[in-house]
Structure 1
Amino acid sequence: MTCTRHSARPASSVGRSLHPPLLPRHLIGGHVRTRNRLLAGLSALMVAGFGALAAPTTAHAANLLSNAGFESGDLSGWSCSGSTGSVVGSPVHGGSKALAGAATAGDTARCSQRVTVQPNTAYTLSSWVRGSYVHLGVTGGTATWTSSASDYTKLTVSFTTGANQTSAEVYLHGWYGQGTYYADDVSLDGPGGGDDTQAPTAPGNLKVTGTTATSVSLSWDPATDNVGVTGYDVYRGDTRAASVTGTTATVTGLTPNTGYDFTVRAKDRAGNTSPASASVRATTAPDSGGSDRFIQAAPYLYLGWGNPPAATEVMNATGIKWFTMAFILAQNGCNPSWDSQRPLTGGVDEATIKSIRAAGGDIVPSIGGWSGNKLGPACSTPEALAGAYQKVIDAYRLKAIDVDIENTDEFENAAVQDRILTALRIVKQNNPGLKTILTFPTLNTGPNSWGNRLIERAAALNADIDNFTIMPFNFGGGADMYGSTVKATEGLKNKLKSTFNWTDAQAYAHIGISGMNDSSDTGEVTTPQIWTQIRDWANAHDIGRLAFWAVNRDRPSWQFTSITAGFTG
């Protein structure tokens, strides 16, 4: 561990190869000739294609793919290898969503969909793609690819089904070690199998199964179809609010104490849509008000660095009540420990927590950070990760947890982002009243593309995050730290509003600021006067959380800690 803040560093520039991509290192060596045959075969596919060469019938201009623009906000209709696929809000070609495939050294992030087709018939497959070595094709048939598309580029292939072929699988994928690719507005034009024109029946027995101040949960009886129902669209009035494959949904981002009307429509693979279900009305719960609102002034205290101060001494000198204690990391697999070294119980960390509580305070653990062996990548499934979080919660009977998600292993990894969000949803369900915080880096204008994705996926996965805390620093030496912090926070507020359909007040209440006292990693300076300005702005806008790195660096006067203690939200 280092004594600097576990903060985001600028991503290095990676050069792009002008040659066809290679297989990952662990597949090279004895498999070189296999690799060459693979590339040669791929080239042949692009030139010649597969499929029967009998005279094709004429295709109808109809897109057979479901969720072709990923506007449902999820991967319904698609199957992606190794949890590498996700839906993002930027960059997109059309609409508001697109597919992101996080290709790694061992996985091309292949996403596919199987559709019903007619034998001996011509079809055209196309997609808008962006990234390096993005492939589009038909399993067992023709394919095409682009080596480098810095902006969205259209790929198109045509193929003819065999004499007895009744289904086809279309796919997109990147290439080993070439990073994330994007795809949008995928289209397979041609007649569906049997030219299905029969719509499903309307879903029955739509009912409300739960409400909160900002969400409504619904369930319904399944619809029927002559071929098969592939999903359901939930409408709030005339606006599509959710798309799911099952018979339950939770609509989020609603206004407290407000009535809403909901209906549901079923859809099949051919794109036929059922009549609307009977309407049901739900009223969200009243806003819980100030007494239950999540407010936390919690500067970082790091027991793994240098000569950490006594927490009770700081509390007595400043009036601070909460600390963000850093850092919970992984040890020997998916096992939580302090700094990957110290056990959760029986050591200095537990003793410190007990002393803080005895003095009338409490702590929130910071799980993750910039460096070290983190639980997000170390735990292979959301359930395993939730189990690791639960060990920390149980060890200290916690009221809140903070996941500090940074660097390429967590923040810039779509699969790990989704794993963390799903795990947080699980622990919230299993621990009523637990508050969850996400801490992540930011630009001085607001979240970057990975931050935007994190927020969008939090909404799509119904993670129910209580606070989104940004780290507004490391913009560069000489930055206006007050102005940059306010600008970054306003950018986050606007993103939360557009994603969750919140008001300004609702968005501010879900925001946190985690600054850096004195000099940052890049030489910016936040003085006590500037931190006071930031605190006063945060109080005036009723944000939910204020923190800084770190109490260890606030000696001997504890000025920044005293200022933070004046945060009221």
Structure 2
Amino acid sequence: MSKVRKALLGCAAVAGALTIGAAPALSAETSAPASTNAAAPVAASPYLYMGWGNPPKPSEVMSATGIKDFTLAFILSDGGCNPAWDGNRPLDADKAVIDEIRAAGGDVVPSIGGWAGNKLGEFCQDAQSLAGAYQKVIDTFGLKAIDVDIEASEFETPAVQDRVLEALKIVKEANPGVQTVVTFPTLASGPNDVGKRMIGKANEIGANVDVWTQMPFNFGGSDMAADTIQSTEGLKEVLKSTFGYSDAEAYAHAGISSMNGKTDVGETVDQAAFQKMADYAKEKGLGRFTFWALNRDRPCNGGGPSDSCGGVDQQPWDFTKIVAGFQG
């Protein structure tokens, strides 16, 4: 994820109080309608961050690209066990955006976590209260899916990682029609030891995660399409051996979340590389194909990569159009 975004989230997180709060009670009933299309809205939903990078108007992007769904970033802890956008904006702050997307025929997947800021997995004291925080997000927006972007200490601390997985299990049992996605960092070879441990623990407890999405960038890759495909093949093998899946089942539970343009470490994901990833994702039947971030899917007009452009020669929404062609 973007260093600019990391800095922004870090500042936002400090603004919150540091007292652990009580989570809302977990409800077994939500207003989320069951999706008749198992792929939507998870499969093709680029990240859109309304608190960063001069965010575009979603309905205009939908009209220009054919994209329907968006992964909205980022829900964090408000300083206790309570979810808030960026850790400091109430959940209803982005309601108008969600209503706009739905009115245009699309849907949203809130992303919970990210690289920086106060993570609910760390500020909620047990799996039940964390599940209650996730449930509040589901209930507020009548969701069909949630994305837990688990990174940094939330990813690397076994006790916190376990808490997240156990909370997802509780949420899945209470909301069997809601898809759960876990998004996490990776190596060019596939999941690192921490990622393998997380997947193994999910199998052990029966967390029933629908899609495991890797972020195959920031590992110093030189051929980002080839490295991404290699990384995803590594994930497929881990899922296959851990859960006893067939190849087809493992691919269906795997996802790619790339980064358009220049990455934080100077790798380049241009349109040609991204199209190769998309072709691979479609050929193998991956469960998700997306990227960070729609805010950056624009030309820089002479400048370098930033929170509002990707740093490569392009037209507006080139990467979003490629994602729109992927339906899972």
Q: TM-score, with normalisation over the residues of structure 2?
A: 0.83
Counterpart residue number, 1:493: 236
Q: Is the 8 A contact 2:53 2:296 kept in 1?
A: no
Counterpart of 2:270, as a letter, is: T
Query: Helix, strand or coil: the match of 2:168?
Result: helix
Counterpart residue number, 2:263: 520
Counterpart of 1:561, as a letter, is: T
| CA distance in 1 between partners of 2:296 and 2:87 (Å) | 23
Q: Is the 8 A contact 1:3 1:305 kept in 2?
A: no
Is there any run of 5+ residues in structure 2 with no aligned partner, and where? 7-35, 299-314
Please state if 1:313 is matched with 2:313: no
| CA distance in 2 between partners of 1:4 and 1:549 (Å) | 13
Q: Is the 8 A contact 1:329 1:372 kept in 2?
A: yes
Q: Deviation digits for residues 308-339 of structure 1, max 9, x if unmatched?
A: 10011110000001101000000031010000
Counterpart residue number, 1:413: 157
Superposed displacement of residue 3, structure 1:
5.7
Counterpart residue number, 1:107: none
Please state if 1:374 is matched with 2:119: yes
Q: For the structure 1 residues 547 and 404, does the alpha-carbon distance in structure 2 shift closer, same or farther, using more than 3 Å as the test?
A: same
Q: Deviation digits for residues 290-319 of structure 1, max 9, x if unmatched?
A: 954566101100011131100111100000
Counterpart residue number, 1:534: 277
Counterpart residue number, 1:438: 182
| CA distance in 2 between partners of 1:567 and 1:542 (Å) | 10
Counterpart residue number, 2:212: 468
Q: Deviation digits for residues 80-101 of structure 1, max 9, x if unmatched?
A: xxxxxxxxxxxxxxxxxxxxxx
| CA distance in 2 between partners of 1:516 and 1:502 (Å) | 28
| CA distance in 2 between partners of 1:336 and 1:522 (Å) | 31
| CA distance in 2 between partners of 1:4 and 1:505 (Å) | 37
Counterpart residue number, 1:429: 173
| CA distance in 2 between partners of 1:325 and 1:444 (Å) | 26
Query: Helix, strand or coil: the match of 1:301?
Result: strand
Correspondence list, 1:357-368, <5 A = 357-368=102-113
| CA distance in 2 between partners of 1:312 and 1:470 (Å) | 28
Q: Is the 8 A contact 2:75 2:85 kept in 1?
A: yes
| CA distance in 2 between partners of 1:321 and 1:513 (Å) | 18
Please state if 1:402 is matched with 2:147: yes
Superposed displacement of residue 431, structure 1:
1.3
Q: Is the 8 A contact 2:49 2:72 kept in 1?
A: yes
Q: Is the 8 A contact 2:2 2:263 kept in 1?
A: no
Structure with the bigger RCO (C-alpha within 8 Å, sep 6+) is 2
The farther-off stretch of 510-519 and 554-563 is 554-563
| CA distance in 2 between partners of 1:291 and 1:419 (Å) | 29
Superposed displacement of residue 417, structure 1:
0.7
Which has a greater percent of strand? 1
Please state if 1:481 is matched with 2:201: no
Identity in percent: 58
Q: Is the 8 A contact 2:111 2:148 kept in 1?
A: yes
Q: Is the 8 A contact 1:334 1:388 kept in 2?
A: yes
| CA distance in 2 between partners of 1:429 and 1:557 (Å) | 41
| CA distance in 2 between partners of 1:526 and 1:337 (Å) | 31
Query: Helix, strand or coil: the match of 1:296?
Result: coil
Q: Is the 8 A contact 1:513 1:547 kept in 2?
A: yes
Query: Helix, strand or coil: the match of 1:506?
Result: helix
Counterpart of 2:138, as a letter, is: I
Please state if 1:393 is matched with 2:152: no
Counterpart of 1:315, as a letter, is: M
Counterpart residue number, 2:288: 545
Q: Runs ≥4 in structure 1, deviation > 3 angstroms?
A: 1-6, 290-295
Query: Helix, strand or coil: the match of 2:91?
Result: coil
Q: Is the 8 A contact 2:5 2:52 kept in 1?
A: no
CA RMSD in angstroms, aligned pairs only: 1.7
Counterpart residue number, 2:18: none
Q: Is the 8 A contact 1:437 1:467 kept in 2?
A: yes
Counterpart residue number, 1:332: 79
| CA distance in 2 between partners of 1:352 and 1:291 (Å) | 23
| CA distance in 2 between partners of 1:565 and 1:438 (Å) | 21
Correspondence list, 1:44-443, <5 A = 292=38, 296-345=43-92, 347=93, 349-407=94-152, 409-443=153-187
Superposed displacement of residue 475, structure 1:
1.4
Counterpart residue number, 1:284: none
| CA distance in 2 between partners of 1:402 and 1:421 (Å) | 12
Counterpart of 1:377, as a letter, is: E
Superposed displacement of residue 350, structure 1:
1.0
Q: Is the 8 A contact 1:2 1:305 kept in 2?
A: no
Counterpart residue number, 1:33: none
Q: Is the 8 A contact 1:369 1:405 kept in 2?
A: yes
Counterpart residue number, 1:169: none
Please state if 1:568 is matched with 2:327: yes
Which has a greater percent of helix? 2
